């Protein structure tokens, strides 16, 4: 949750640890979950997806490929017209660079 849930400015979301560009404001949407949500990474080469069986669930974890920081999880309940993915990312893992 946090700072970027209601951010509607244009720009790029970067890894708070290493500065790698992760998500564009163009793919951000209001998922109603209270977490910043995106339909796609800005560049698939900048993230790693990994099975996360913690908490007795089967989820897909999203990590920064550059530094390995945990960013959040990706789910298959995003907007169908935009591919159906919801990258649910924790605000503390992100920095925002306004365009």
Q: Which of 15, 18, 67, 88 is catalytic?
A: 88
CA distance 13 to 92: 11
- Residue 18 a catalytic site member: no
> 27 in helix, strand or coil?
helix
E strands present in the chain? 11-15, 21-24, 28-29, 37-38, 47-52, 59-64, 70-75, 86-89, 94-98
- Annotated catalytic residues are 88
């Amino acid at each position: 949750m946090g700072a970027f849930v209601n951010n509607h400015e244009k720009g790029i979301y970067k890894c708070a640890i290493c500065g790698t560009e992760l998500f564009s404001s163009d793919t951000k949407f209001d998922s109603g979950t209270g977490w910043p949500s995106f339909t796609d990474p800005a560049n698939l080469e900048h993230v790693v997806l990994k099975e996360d069986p913690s908490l007795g669930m089967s989820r897909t974890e999203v990590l920064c490929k550059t530094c390995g920081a945990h960013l959040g999880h990706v789910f298959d309940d995003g907007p169908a017209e935009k591919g159906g993915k919801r990258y649910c990312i924790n605000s503390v893992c992100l920095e925002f660079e306004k365009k």
